[in-house]
Structure 1
Amino acid sequence: MSLCVYAFLRRVKKEGISTFLPALVRKYGYPLEEHRVTTADGYILTVHRIPHGRDAVNGTVERPVVFIMHGLMSSSADWVLMGPNKGLAYILAEEGFDVWLGNARGTRYSRQHVKLNPDSGAEFWNFSWDEIGNIDLPTMIDYALDKANKKRLHYIGHSQGTTSFWVMCSLRPDYNQKIISMNALAPVAYLTHNKCPLINQLAPFSTVFEKLSKVIGVGEILPITNSKIMRWAGEKLCSDNALFQEVCTDIVFLIGGWNSLEFNRTMLPVILAHTPAGASIRQFAHYGQVAHSDTFRRFNHLSYWNYKIYGTWDPPLYDLSQVKAPVFLRYSLSDPLAHIDDVKRLAKELGNLKAKTSIPMTSFSHLDFIWGIDAKKLVYDHVIADMRRMEESLFIFHPV
C-alpha cells in the first residue's frame, strides 16, 4: 500500500467520511468553501468551492467560474480523489478558474431536506435526474453566480452530469444564456446501443420495479449506511497485495468498462470510501425507461399520473434543440454507457454543438474520464483549451 493511501485510510478512520473531502483538499494546501443551498422543494444541497489555486496571491485575481457536476452514484469527491495534478478540480484551480463542485440531491453531501428523512420511508427519494436537472442544477448555478458576482459560467459534466444538463436546458431554456461553454464527458442522453448488462437486463421492468420499491418503502439504491462496509472492503480486500484486489477491479470494470491501462488499482481504497455516494432507485429506473423506449423523455409515472403531472398521457420528450449553450462532446470508443451511435444521435439533435471529439485511446472508457491515469493529457487539457477559446471569443478571460 502506498504511503498516500495509507495516510488517507488513517485520516478516514480518525475524522469520518463526511469530513474527508474538505480535510483532503485543505491538506494539499488548497482553499475550500462549503456552501448550503436549499431548493424550492426543500432539498438541502452542498456545493464545494475551490476559489483559487495554492498560491494565495492568485486569490486576488478575477477568475472565470466553472461548475462541475458528477455522475450517477458519485459526488463532488470525484474531482479531487486523484490528488493534485490529477484531479480535475485542482487542475482547473491552478489554471485560473473559480471552481464550484455540485452535489445532486440524495448524494452523501446533499442528504438533507427541510422536512423529509432519507432514512425513513421512500418519500425523500421520489426523484430522478429529471428533478436534478430541472431544480438542483439551476439552484446551484444561480447560487454560484451570485456568490462569484458573475452572469455566466462554464459547465463540465460527466455521465449523469451531462444528462441533467440536457434536462435543464430543455425544460428551462433561459439557463442557456448563463452558460459560456459546456464540456460533456461521456455524454448520456439516449441509451439504445448501451452495452451495460445491468441496464439492459432491468430496462423492460424499470417502471414496475420502481413502483414496487415504493410500496415496500424503499427508495434508495445501495443505502449510504453501507459506506462503512465499502471502506472496510476497500482497505481489507482491495488494497495493494490484497487477495481480492483483482476481483474489486473487475467489478469496477463491469460497470464502467474495461481498461486496465488507465486504472490505478492502488487508489481503490480511496475510491470505495466515496463511491457509491447515494442515488434513488428512480434515477436508475429512468435510465432503464430511456433504454427500453429508445427515446429521451421525462420519467414515466404511468398514464393517470403522467396526465396529472405533465398534462399528457405519455411522458413528454426532452427537446434537445433547446440546448442552445455551446456544447463540446467528448466520448470514447470503449464506453459501454455512452455508446458512439447514441452520442452521434445526441449530437445531431443539440441546438448548438461546437465539437464532437473521440478520445485518442481505443481502450479509454466511462470511468477513465474521472479516474484515468492519463485523463489530464487526454481530456482535461483539451477541455481547458476549449474554455479559454470561448473566453477569448467573449473578451472576458483573465489569465493568471
Structure 2
Amino acid sequence: MKLYWFLVAAIIPVIAALPSLIPPSSVTTGDLVEKHGYPFEEHEVQTSDGYILTMHRIPYSARVETPEPRPVAFLMHGILCSSSDWVLLGPGLGLAYLLSDAGYDVWMGNARGNTYSKRHATMIPYLPNFWNFDWHEIGMNDIPAMIDYALYETKQDQVSYIGHSQGTTTFLVLSSMNPKFKNRIRSAHLIAPVAFMDNMKSPIVKLGGPLFGNPNSWINIFGNTELMPNTRLLEQLGQQNCMDTSTYQALCSNMIFLFAGFDHDNLNTTLIPEILATTPAGASTNQIIHYAQEYVSGKFRQFDLGRGHRKPKDYPLDKIDVPIFLYYSENDYMASVVDVEKLMRKLKKKTLKRAYKVPDPNWNHLNFLWGLNIKEQVYNAVMEDIESMRYQ
C-alpha cells in the first residue's frame, strides 16, 4: 500500500513538469459540442494587458426552439481547467447544455494560460514573462473583458454568472475590487466556492502549502512558469490506462481523489479518459502559489510578494453588491464547510440569496462537474436559482 501511494505522489510532479512543447490534445470543446448537434462558435477578445482569450459559445439549443433575444449565461472554469468542463457530460447533464435547453445564450470563458488562451499581443508563452500572473489578474482583467464582449455581441445588459472553484475566486476578486461591475451581473452562482482555505483537507496542499505559501521561500523562484499544460501524451495515457477495462484505473481515480476528496460512488470512471483528454488545461505556477498563501495565511487577500514589498490587502468582500448563490458540500477537500461558512459571514446579508449544501455527504470538489448524480444533487438547484433571477 505504501508503494501504491508513493507511485501516485511520484506521478503528479511528472505530469506537472510536462512542457507545452508537447502537442496539445486532439480533443476540443468544439468537438464535444458539435458531435451532439448543438451550434458552436469561437470568439476572441484581448484584455487590457494584452492577453488574447478564446471564448466558446452555444448560441441556442439544438433541441428546443426559444425566442430571441436570449438571456446570457456566462460559465467560468476552475484552475487547470477549461470550457470543456461544462460539456463533457453531454446533453441532459452538462450545465452548458442544460442552460442552452432552458433558452439561454451560453458563453464559456477560458482564462489566460489555459489550452485556448495561450497568446498575447507582444509576449510568447515560452518565456517566463508571459506567465507573470495569478488569479487576481484573471479576476480583474480576463472576466470583465469576456463578459463585456459577450454583452456587446448579444446586445444584452446583464449575464447570469456561473463559476466553479477558481471561477468563484476570480468572481469574488472582481466584484469586491470593482463594485461598479455589478451592473453587468444579474446574479452569481458560485459552485464549490474557494476564498478562505485554511481549513481545506487536500493532502497535496497540506503537504506543499506551508512551503509554497511562504512568500520568502526559496521554492518561489520557480514562479512565472507554466503548470500542467494539456498534452497529447496525457490524452493517450488516459485512453490506454484509465479505461473501464484497465487494471490501472484505480490509480487514475485516486490521483483525482487526492485533490478533490474521496467519493467512489459518484465518480464516473467511464468519463476519466475524456477528462484527461482535456484536463489539466494549464495555468501559471503563481496561481497555485497564491492559493497556497491563502491556506497559510487564513485570509482572502492579494498576492504576497514577500520581504521588501507592501503587505497584501484583503479583498473587501463586504463591498460586493451582487445577488450571490453558493453551492457547497461536506466532502470537498478544496472548499471546506468551515471555510465556506466563513465566506458567508463576510458577505452582506442582503447579498447572499442562498447557500445550498449538497445532500450527499460524500460529494467532492470535482463531482460538481462530473458526478454521476450531478443533476439531482446540484444542477437542479443551480437552474432553479438562475431561473428565479431571470426576470429581475
**Both proteins in one fold, TM over 0.5:** yes
Tell me which residue corresponds to 2:249. Answer: 245
Note if 1:345 corresponds to 2:345. Answer: no
Deviation at 1:243, TM superposition (A): 1.6
The answer to whether 1:49 aligns with 2:57 is: yes
Matches within 5 A, 1:58-97: 58=66, 60-97=67-104
1:391 partner SS: coil
How far residue 210 of structure 1 moved from its aligned partner, in angstroms, is: 5.8
Q: Is residue 120 of structure 2 the alignment partner of residue 113 of structure 1?
A: yes
The question of 1:232 aligning with 2:241 is answered no
Listed as ranges, the gaps of 5+ residues in structure 2 are 1-22
Q: Do the aligned partners of residues 243 and 297 (structure 1) sit closer, same or farther apart at CA in structure 2, a change above 3 Å counting?
A: same
Aligned-residue offset at 1:247: 0.9
Shift of 1:209: 5.3
Give the Cα separation in 1 of the matches to 2:259 and 2:324.
26
TM-fit CA distance, 1:347 = 0.5
**Quick one: distance in 2 between partners of 1:16 and 1:42?**
23
- Distance (whole Å) between structure 2 residues aligned to residue 57 and residue 326 of structure 1: 29
CA distance in 1, matches of 2:362, 2:156: 39
Cα distance, 1:95 vs structure 2: 0.8
The equivalent residue for 1:191 is 197
Residue 12 (structure 2) aligns with? none
1:155-194 alignment, distance < 5 Å: 155-194=161-200
Aligned mates of 1:356, 1:223 — CA distance in 2: 33
Alpha-carbon distance between aligned partners in 2 of 1:210 and 1:41, rounded to the nearest angstrom? 27
1:33 alignment counterpart: 41
**Equivalent residue, structure 2, for 1:374:** 373
| 8 Å CA contact retained: 1:210, 1:282 | no
Deviation for aligned residue 1:346: 0.2
Query: What is the alpha-carbon distance in structure 2 between the residues aligned to residue 168 and residue 221 of structure 1?
Result: 24
Aligned to 2:321: 324
Q: Secondary structure at the match of 2:171?
A: helix
Cα distance, 1:55 vs structure 2: 3.9
2:13 corresponds to: none
In the TM superposition, residue 350 of structure 1 has moved relative to its aligned partner by: 1.3
In structure 2, do the counterparts of structure 1 residues 94 and 209 end up closer, same or farther at CA, with 3 Å as the change threshold? farther
Superimposed CA distance per residue, residues 92-113 of structure 1 (whole angstroms, 9 cap, x where no aligned partner) = 1001111110000000011111
- CA RMSD of the aligned region, Å? 1.6
Distance 1:176 1:368 in 2: 29
Q: So what's the TM-score if we normalise by structure 1?
A: 0.88
Mapped partners of 1:210, 1:282: distance in 2: 12
Answering whether residue 220 of structure 2 is matched by residue 211 of structure 1, we say yes
Higher mean displacement: 61-70 or 363-372: 61-70
Aligned counterpart, 1:315: 312
Higher helix share: 1
Instruction: Determine if contact 1:330/1:359 at 8 Å carries over to the other structure.
Output: yes
Deviation at 1:61, TM superposition (A): 2.6
Q: TM-score scaled to structure 2, two decimals?
A: 0.90
Distance (Å, rounded) in 1 between the aligned partners of 2:147 and 2:384:
22
8 Å contact 2:24–2:232 — kept in the other structure? no
Give per-residue Cα distances to partners, 1:27-53, cap 9 Å, x unaligned.
211011100000011100001010111
Matched, 1:297 2:301: yes
Which amino acid in 1 is paired with 2:170? S
Q: 1 CA distance for matches of 2:64 and 2:353? A: 35
- Post-superposition CA distance 1:281-335 (Å, at most 9, x none): 000000000110111100011244x4xxxxxx20111000111100011100011
- Once the two structures are TM-superposed, the CA of residue 389 in structure 1 deviates from its matched residue by 1.2
1:131-170 aligned at under 5 Å gives the runs: 131-170=137-176
1:390 Cα deviation (Å)? 1.2
SS at match of 1:205: helix
Structure 1, unaligned runs of 5 or more: 1-14, 307-312, 395-400
Match of 1:310 in 2: none
Q: In 2 relative to 1, CA 34–209 (structure 1 residues): closer, same or farther, beyond 3 Å? A: farther
Measure, in 1, the Cα distance between the counterparts of 2:147 and 2:259. 30
Q: Per the alignment, do residues 256 and 288 of structure 1 end up closer, same or farther by CA in structure 2, a change over 3 Å counting?
A: same
Q: Which runs of 4+ in 1 moved over 6 A?
A: none
What's the counterpart of residue 20 of structure 1? 28
Match of 2:199, SS state, is coil
Distance in 2 separating the partners of 1:244 and 1:23: 27
Match of 1:360 in 2: 359
Q: Which amino acid in the other structure matches residue 384 of structure 1?
A: M
Whole-angstrom distance in 1 between the partners of 2:218 and 2:327: 32
Query: CA–CA distance in 2 between the matches of 1:16 and 1:252?
Result: 21
Q: Is the Cα–Cα contact under 8 Å of residues 326 and 355 in structure 2 kept in the other structure? A: yes
Cα pair distance change 1:245/1:165, threshold 3 Å: same
Q: For residues 111 and 125 of structure 1, what CA distance do their matches in structure 2 show?
A: 10
Rounded to whole Å, the distance in 1 between the matches of 2:87 and 2:186 is 24
